[in-house]
Amino acid sequence: MQLIIFGAPGAGKGTMAQNIQKFKQFSHISTGDLFRRHIKEKTDLGKLATEYIEKGLLVPDKVTEDLIRHELDMIREDFILDGFPRNIAQAEALDEILQDFGIKLTACVHLDIDPEIVVERLVNRMSCQDCGAPYNLIIKKPKVENVCDECGGQLTRRADDNEETIRHRFTTYHEETAPLIDYYKKQGLLMTVNCNEGILTKLDQVWEELSALDK
Ligand code: AP5
Ligand code: MG
């Protein structure tokens, strides 16, 4: 099964991708996570990505497309693309990459959410700097403040989870990413999930629908 998950910042793309793994092992490819790894390792790509991520802008298409081509070339099995494509040019590039590799998409899952819910989620999001375990100060607090329950590592916030950058991320989403709804609707691949009440309650239903598509 080859899936795309897209949606506004904080819609729950990462959370959904991780939870779908309850049903099936997938390679979870998140462009945001890949960029953050490069930033942590201080690579040239990391330096370039920082300039865009801290402003809530998209990293240039060519760089991002090359990264995805490389990742998919290594995998080619069941995968979830989280945060790619993010505009029409990237969607067209992905079509080409998949054609080159002889892969067909199963579905493009759009996580639809009210922006007001999301800002509160993002300013309360933290994760462990050592093991990456996710926390949220509203729904999943650590037992000890700023300390990871799993490994005792320190919890940190993402540099782009401040109100100003979040606002820019939303503008970028509406201007560049939202047109993907029509793009994938026309291809008959769009599956919309209303996430205002939380996505985890819908996980079984989402998986059932995806499994039906894969037959
Ligand atoms: P990226 O890392 O993809 O960030 P994003 O799109 O802003 O999305 P997030 O990761 O913030 O949110 P999410 O939807 O994964 O939600 P999550 O599950 O964490 O991209 C970062 C940047 O990298 C971009 O701005 C751009 O600069 C660059 N970039 C990335 N891809 C690119 C591309 N293709 N091209 C160019 N540039 C690119 O959930 C959020 C929070 O809510 C968590 O705390 C979670 O615990 C909580 N939560 C989740 N679900 C629920 C629920 N049901 N109820 C309550 N809380 C919930
Ligand atoms: Mg994410």
The model's pLDDT over 145-201, given as tens digits with 9 standing for 90+, comes to 999 999 999 999 999 999 899 999 999 999 999 999 999 999 999 999 988 876 667
pLDDT in tens, 60-75: 999 999 999 999 999 8
Q: How far, in Å, CA of 134 to CA of 127, rounded?
A: 4
Token readout for 109 is 């899952």
Ligand 1 site, residue 170, Cβ cutoff 6 A: no
Task: Please give the tally of structural domains in the chain.
Answer: 1
Using the mean position of ligand 2's atoms as its centre, give its distance from the Cα of residue 49 in Å. Answer: 16
pLDDT digits (tens, 9 = 90+) for 91-118: 999 999 999 999 999 999 999 998 888 8
Residues 6+ apart with CB under 8 A from 53: 32, 35, 36, 39, 59, 159, 160
Ligand 1 atom closest to residue 30's alpha carbon, by position in its atom list: 3
Q: Is residue 132 part of a domain?
A: no
Distance between CA atoms of residues 212 and 196, nearest Å: 24
Q: How confident is the model at residue 210 (pLDDT cuts 50, 70, 90)?
A: confident
**For a substitution probing ligand 1, which of 18, 48, 57, 58 has the most ligand atoms within 8 Å of its CB?**
58
Give domain status of residue 138, yes or no: no
Atom of ligand 1 nearest to the CA of 84: 34
Residue type, 174: H
Q: Give the Cα separation of 212 and 199 in Å (integer).
A: 19
In ligand 1, which atom is closest to the CA atom of 31? 31
Q: Residue 190: its pLDDT value, please?
A: 96
**Cis-peptide, bond into residue 134, ω within 30° of zero:** no
- The whole domain housing 46 covers 2-114+177-213
CATH number of the domain residue 98 falls in:
3.40.50.300
Instruction: Give the separation between CA 109 and CA 181, rounded to whole angstroms.
Output: 10
56 in any annotated domain? yes
Whether residue 121 has pLDDT greater than 90 = no
Read off the pLDDT of each residue in 48-65 and give the average, rounded to a whole number.
Answer: 97
List the beta bridge partners of residue 108: 4, 190
In a domain, 202, yes or no: yes
Residue 14 CB less than 6 A away from ligand 1: yes
